[in-house]
Amino acid sequence: MRKLKDDVLLCLIYLAAFFAEFLLIGILVYVFVKGFPHISLHFLTTVTSVLEGTVGIAGNLVNTIYMVVLTLVIAVPVGIGSAVYLNEYARPGKMVRLIEFTTQTLSGIPSIIFGLFGMVFFGVTLGLGYSILTGAFTLSLMVLPLITRNTQEALKTVPESYRSGAIGMGAGKWYVIRTILLPSAMPGIMTGIVLAVGRILGESAALLFTAGSGYFLPRSLGGWFHKMVESGGTLTIQLYLSMEKAQYDIAFGIAAVLLCMVFCMNLLTGLLSNKLGDTTDGRG
Amino acid sequence: MVRYRTDTRTRTVEKAARIIFSLCAFTAVAAVFSITIYMIANGVPAVLQAGWKEILFSSVWQPAAQEPSFGILYVILTSVVGTFLAVLLGVPIGLFTAVFLAEAAPGWLAAVIRPAVELLAGIPSVIYGVLGMMILNPFMYRLEQRIFADSWTHQFTGGANLLSAVIVLAVMILPTVISISEAALRAVPPELKASSLALGASPVETIFQVTIPAARSGILAAVVLGVGRAVGEAMAISLVSGNAVNLPLPFCSVRFLTTAIVSEMGYAGGLHRQVLFTIGLVLFVFIMMINGILSSILKGEKRQ
Amino acid sequence: MKKEYEDRADRNEKRLLAAMILIIGLLAFGSRGSDRQGSFGQSNRSTPLRGTVTMAGSTSMESIANALAEGFMNRYPYVMVTVEFTGSSAGIEAALTGSADIGNSSRRLRPEEKAAGAVEYIVALDGIVMITDAENPVRELTKEQLSAIYQGKVRNWREVGGTDRAIVVLGREAGSGTREAFEEYLELEELCDYANELNSTGAVMARVSSTPGAIGYLSWDVLDDMVAVLAIDGVKPTADTIRTGRYGLSRPYVMVTKGGMEEQSEAVKEFFLYMKSGEGEALLKNAGGILVEAVQ
């Protein structure tokens, strides 16, 4: 009887694990089989034209790049700064607890709420309207905890002796942070950034009401700058919109492109965390 | 070669650095604070205007009628029931997978499955919605036609119903549940397991009666995080749930808090729009409660 | 060494400062909202037209708005046209608050919107067509049957002359211009019992085409052969029957600006002129808009 119970439970455990695996393989195969036939140079390098009846996602690709770069430009310095403050400046107390609690809260807020907030705050109050910049500000709040937390973890692994040694030699705190701490924490920071990029690539609910759905390419040199305050739908937004409109070809084409990107991001995270492991092992 | 310096310039730099870093740190506080303020400022006026009983405890949602009614009771219920069912379905599978990865899997197999789980976590939620719409909905419709073949009162939904949404949600919380419970299971001291085995318990008994109870606060945290993810998910389920306001029954087309916002925010104006912000506020309150529970669990864990 | 350190520290400080200024600058730049730049000149211009035209509004008008935007940009290479599909009411509101130059709406303006300064221009007429999945043999319904189906009184195609198959009643979400027009036509304001409420024109098309036994309504201009059209009371929706009003289920497509034409930017004025030109009308027609003599 006891043996039977053990076997049943063990069976369930194996089933559950293989379920996860099959799910992934199923999703990948389904999306790639349906999506790859639609990916072509033309699909990737042109924008959809109603007049000519062709489809292309170049505009969405460009918007995605804008979104990733702008969000990182805003979020990375702030996130790193926040981690440095928590780890190097602040003394444990109410303030630190408040900051850590809000950072954790921020990572738990669903993206639709960020979308609502971004729409009324960045879009209406600051007057940015539907624009890539509105989306980038909204997303940077969303990815801030990822960068802060990963940087903080990395800073914690830098041995205390580095700090006391440098300070003892008369170096200022800022000098130590700049020349010793941040370089040593680099792999951790990079992990945070890669995770953030993954999050930005996949985001849709927070962008629908903030960045809009424009899909045209900028038309002049000035246009490339002005693009930041124009509406722009990322790949994921276009995927959602195409799906709604029953344009399955575009939808699965984009889905396959997105999965490739996510796959690369995951590989990168893996490599980075290996590297991080190495450095800490070497020093710890 | 760094010389000792006390000149004012260095001190200015140090001070500036300190100020800038602390400003950065307060961004998170400012963000949470202003999100809270904005959600309340935008969500409360409708409550004052239409009455909180009318909004929270009425089930009639007719925002564009001559005499509009903004009852979101069914919407709230749907989010609660849908999340509960998704957790009921997703957590056992996730926990068992975590047990497999932490305790039962040979190294090479774990090395294959773990990245797979990470990849599942990285897939954009819209893609889950797309797959749900293409695969799950037609399947559900066939099931629906079979079950309600003789019914004259059932409203056919074409497969876009609560069950589809629950399944999509369950799949989406899997990665979260798996990775966090696995970490918790791995943190259980090996001596504990060794003594259980030495006392004659079988490996499976050890897992279920020693390891899992010992890791319970971590597993609980995983469940709470899963709940948070399920409550907050919008785009994936907006593609599969049908979006009509109904009592959350398995084969009814339903609307969640999140999908209510997604589907009507574009077109809404006036009081209707404000009520959508009220829905956002309700969602926000749910999430803050979940966050509170989570942080108290984590605190408890630290104390242990 | 010390000098170098300080220099570097200085540079870093400056970099930080520069980054902050950049961000603040971007903020200020962006907060100007929609640009109303654009050179002066007549329609027969010597300097190329520059500037932007931003539209927001109805999802039903997607195909005509996109076609016009693309055609206009081909004609004037230095003009950027952006279109958001946020919904009619939101589009009108965007035009009124200035976050868009033109609001696209698939319903006429309400009195309070006119009072707030909105001015409407009817650009085309649209029929709302009833569609079902291609395999459904039913091709015609009476208005009464339609009304019964949408109130949930008839739940099987058998009852309206079809095969034994459940009816999946699909519609748009509250606030949609299409839904408003449809329910007004059947005199069923907020009385419809929908199984699915979908939030865009395309979504209705997608659902109906993939769900056996589904019925839904959408704009005439986005129709394609993935779905079958239902005639109402024996009248099929065509450009002719819609224009003459024999097919009763129709509504106008309007473009809304804040204030009259004279208050608009050069690019927006040119856009409206373009719409009235032969090229613009051809585009409208191709995209499925039904032209009307200006009913202002």
Q: What is the pLDDT of residues C252-270, one digit of tens each?
A: 899 999 988 888 999 999 9
Residues of A in Cβ contact (< 8 Å) with B124: 201-204, 236, 239, 258, 262
Range of the domain at B56: 52-303
Name which of C4, C13, C89 to mutate to probe chain B: the one with the most chain B Cβ atoms within 10 A of its Cβ: C89
| Å between A226 CA and nearest CA of chain C | 9
Q: Mean pLDDT for chain A? A: 87
The pLDDT score that the predictor gives to residue B117 is 87
- For residue C82, what are the CA distances in angstroms to A14, A29, C2, C201, C255? 53, 36, 54, 19, 14
C93 touches chain B (CB under 8 A): yes
Closest CA to B117 of B211, B188, B182: B182
Using CA coordinates, name the residue in chain B closest to A255. B127
Name which of B3, B9, B21 to mutate to probe chain A: the one with the most chain A Cβ atoms within 10 A of its Cβ: B21
Q: And the tokens for A256? A: 């396959």
What is the value of ipTM here, to two decimals? Answer: 0.88
The pLDDT score that the predictor gives to residue B303 is 66
Same domain flag for B182 and B36: no
pTM reported for the whole predicted model: 0.84
Tell me where in chain C the CATH 3.40.190.10 domain(s) lie: 42-125+252-286, 126-250
Same domain flag for B7 and B106: no
The pLDDT score that the predictor gives to residue B178 is 93
Same domain flag for B34 and B81: no
Confidence of residue A5 (pLDDT cuts 50, 70, 90): confident
Mean pLDDT of C178-183: 89
A222 touches chain B (CB under 8 A): no
The pLDDT score that the predictor gives to residue B163 is 94
Q: And the tokens for C249? A: 């289920």
Mean pLDDT of A95-104: 89
B3 touches chain C (CB under 8 A): yes
Q: And the tokens for B38? A: 């904005």
C97-153 pLDDT, tens digit each:
887 899 999 888 888 889 999 999 988 888 899 999 988 999 999 999 999 999 988
The pLDDT score that the predictor gives to residue B169 is 95
Closest CA to B86 of B173, B161, B182: B173
State the virtual CA torsion across C193, C199, C205, C210 in degrees, nearest 10: -70
Tell me whether residue B54 is exposed, middle or buried, using C-beta atoms within 10 angstroms of its C-beta: 0 to 12, 13 to 18, 19 or more: middle
* C246 contacts C234 by C-beta, under 8 angstroms: no
Q: And the tokens for A113? A: 């709420």
The shortest CB-CB distance from A245 to any of C31, C84, C206 is to C206
| Å between B87 CA and nearest CA of chain A | 15
Mean pLDDT of C72-94: 85
Residues of A in Cβ contact (< 8 Å) with B92: 16
For residue C127, what are the β-bridge partners? C250
The shortest CB-CB distance from C168 to any of B156, B245, B262 is to B156
Say yes or no to pLDDT of C1 above 50. Answer: no
B6-56 pLDDT, tens digit each:
567 778 888 899 899 999 999 999 999 999 999 999 999 999 988 888 888
- The answer to whether A104 contacts B283, with C-beta atoms less than 8 Å apart, is no
- The answer to whether C207 contacts B160, with C-beta atoms less than 8 Å apart, is yes
> How far is it, in rounded angstroms, from Cα C184 to Cα C124?
20
Say yes or no to pLDDT of C41 above 60. Answer: no
Confidence of residue A95 (pLDDT cuts 50, 70, 90): confident
Confidence of residue A284 (pLDDT cuts 50, 70, 90): very low
C202-226 pLDDT, tens digit each:
888 888 988 889 999 998 877 888 8
The pLDDT score that the predictor gives to residue A281 is 39
Confidence of residue A142 (pLDDT cuts 50, 70, 90): very high
Same domain flag for B160 and B248: yes
Where is the domain boundary, B9, B33, B50? B50
The pLDDT score that the predictor gives to residue C2 is 45
Using CB atoms, list chains with 3+ pairs below 8 Å to chain A: B, C
The pLDDT score that the predictor gives to residue C77 is 85
Residues of B in Cβ contact (< 8 Å) with C85: 266
The pLDDT score that the predictor gives to residue C19 is 55
Q: Mean pLDDT for chain C? A: 81
A179 touches chain C (CB under 8 A): no
Portion 232-271 of B in contact with A at CB < 8 A: 232-235, 239, 258, 261-262, 265
Tell me whether residue B126 is exposed, middle or buried, using C-beta atoms within 10 angstroms of its C-beta: 0 to 12, 13 to 18, 19 or more: buried
Mean pLDDT of C27-33: 39
> How far is it, in rounded angstroms, from Cα C206 to Cα C170?
11
The pLDDT score that the predictor gives to residue A10 is 87
The pLDDT score that the predictor gives to residue A143 is 95
* C95 contacts C120 by C-beta, under 8 angstroms: no
Residues of A in Cβ contact (< 8 Å) with B134: 248
Same domain flag for B184 and B212: yes
Q: Would you identify the CATH topology of the domain A62-282?
A: MetI-like fold (1.10.3720)
Q: Would you identify the CATH topology of the domain C42-125+252-286?
A: D-Maltodextrin-Binding Protein; domain 2 (3.40.190)
User: Regarding the domain with residue range C126-250, which homologous superfamily does it belong to in the CATH classification?
Assistant: Periplasmic binding protein-like II (3.40.190.10)
Q: What are phi and psi of C240, to 5 degrees?
A: -70, -55
Confidence of residue C28 (pLDDT cuts 50, 70, 90): very low
- Regions in chain B scoring below 70 on pLDDT: 1-7, 267, 302-304
Confidence of residue C15 (pLDDT cuts 50, 70, 90): low
